[in-house]
Amino acid sequence: MAYRVEHDSMGDIQVEDSRYWGSQTQRSLENFPIGGERFSDDFIRAYGCLKKACVLANAPSAVWKKEKLEALLAACDEVIAGKLKEHFPLVVWQTGSGTQTNMNLNEVIANRAAELLGGKKGQKELVHPNDDVNRSQSSNDTFPAAMHIAAVSMVRDRLLPAVELLASELEAKARIWARLIKVGRTHLQDAVPLSLGQEFSAYVAQLRQAARRIDLAAEELLELPIGGTAVGTGLNAPAGFDDAVCGELEKITGERYTSAPNKFALLAAHDGMAGLSGALSTLAAALMKIANDIRWLGSGPRCGIGELILPENEPGSSIMPGKVNPTQNEALTMVCAQVMGNHSTVAFACSQGNFELNVFKPVIIHNLLQSIRLLSDGMESFRLRCVAGIDVNREKLAEYLERTLMVVTALNPHIGYDKSAAIAKKAYTENITLKEAGISLGFLSSEEYDRWVVPERMV
């Protein structure tokens, strides 16, 4: 295996010659053999978009020749396209500012650009990772800017569409089942009737409300700290650099990014990330409710509630023949548990800014992007492999509706709460119908019961 020698302020270090990274990436690889969790392709792509925007914003004031500018842009484009993803090996568990990942980007772009210019990797006189690629920047403003770009992109491109697809599937079921009357349940006990469509309409409302919260939280992340450099003052960045970068990012990503009016806040704290993570946790709470309700309503097939018939996707037991389990619901609820746990980590990490810098940035963005990815994938799988194939056990709905005691509530306006309660208790203890109990107690006639207790009018 061939090696080359790279040099930085710490001295010389050997790097595999096939790798585009340089000395600082290599040092991080050797100093942080922790966990193995790497930054996602989505994050590296977002960072590549930012680096390209910075190159374009720097172009007017830099002394780059046309060929050098074109090589830098071409290298950035390869990063964005994922062509160089094997050259971003660093783990999340590194410096809390993300400095080494910023340098990983700088080194890969510099070395690839040097190659495109006809040189070799490590020829800093051709393209320098700090002086050229990191020009007018610091890890302290580029890393959080990339965090924002990655989060906004994944929310808009993956998460919100997945939420709407699932909500629309549930809404279609709600329309189809609008006239199917069933027993309601509160406190895990029988309650007054509603339609199955009304029950499912609650799920639709939950999801769309969660989507609105997420969209609003993502909107806050369109403000970027780029141009703040090390502590927010903008040292070494030319006037207008921040706005120029945001303008170029809009062309690259289609999102209207703006320069944050107070960059100190976005380097030292990540309240916007905490807000988005909280909105994701709220979505997870809604999905947990929906998935649990559906698997309870589909429990059985003979000894559970059994109102819904869930798709049978695979055998459910290695010992019990014929058993089929609500596995899509289980997968989605595990996703929700992970997202809630991720939010606890993000919220704590966001609280840990000291003075001018929060140094928990890598774990914040790692957990946030994992949550978005898991929720997006989990909802899509749940939609396709569970919700789309749900059917109704109409016989069970009718059976429960006939047996429930809580339709007695319809008698309250006619005979009062106390007499209605007496009817319910007598029917339950003597295992007779409400109608029989009411007539036996002399509180109403058969005709009055039939006129007053009509489940279809209770919904």
Quick one: which H or E segment has residue 258? strand 258-259
In angstroms, the CA 385 to CA 326 distance is 10
Q: Does 140 belong to an annotated binding site?
A: yes
Instruction: Tell me which H or E stretch contains 149.
Output: helix 139-154
Phi-psi region at 82: left, alpha or beta (left = phi > 0; alpha = psi -120 to 50): left
Specify whether the CB–CB gap between 283 and 210 falls below 8 A: yes
State yes or no: 131 annotated in a binding site. yes
CB proximity list for 214: less than 8 A, separation 6 or greater? 155, 159, 160, 163, 276, 279, 280, 283
Determine whether the annotation assigns residue 129 to a binding site. yes
CA distance 286 to 379: 12
Question: Which of 18, 168, 317, 351 does the annotation list as catalytic?
Answer: 317
* Residue 27 to residue 48: CA distance in whole angstroms: 22
CA distance 13 to 15: 7
324 is in an annotated binding site: yes
The response to whether 28 counts as a known ligand-binding position is no
Is 326 strand, coil or helix? coil
Residue 139 marked as a ligand binder: yes
The widest CA-to-CA distance across the chain, in whole angstroms, is 102
344 is catalytic: no
| 130 is annotated as contributing to ligand binding | yes
Q: Give the span between the Cα atoms of 277 and 264, in whole angstroms.
A: 21
Residue 128 known to bind ligand:
yes
Q: Six-digit token pair at 396?
A: 């069970």
- Is 327 marked as binding a ligand? no
The three-class DSSP label of residue 83 is: coil
Place of tokens 């029917």: 427
Confirm or deny that 186 is annotated as ligand binding. Answer: yes
**183: its two tokens:** 């027993």
Residue 340 DSSP SS3: helix
Residue with tokens 């704590």: 348
The alpha carbon dihedral of 344, 92, 152, 232 has a sign of positive
Q: Under 8 Å CB-to-CB from 259, ≥6 apart: which residues?
A: 223, 224, 226, 227, 242, 243, 245, 246
Residue 325 labelled as part of a binding site: yes
- Select from 248, 249, 255 the least CA-distant residue to 220: 255
| Active-site annotation holds for 187 | yes
User: Which residues carry a binding-site annotation?
Assistant: 97-99, 128-131, 138-140, 186, 318, 323-325
User: Which residues carry a binding-site annotation for substrate?
Assistant: 97-99, 128-131, 138-140, 186, 318, 323-325
Q: Residues with catalytic annotation?
A: 187, 317
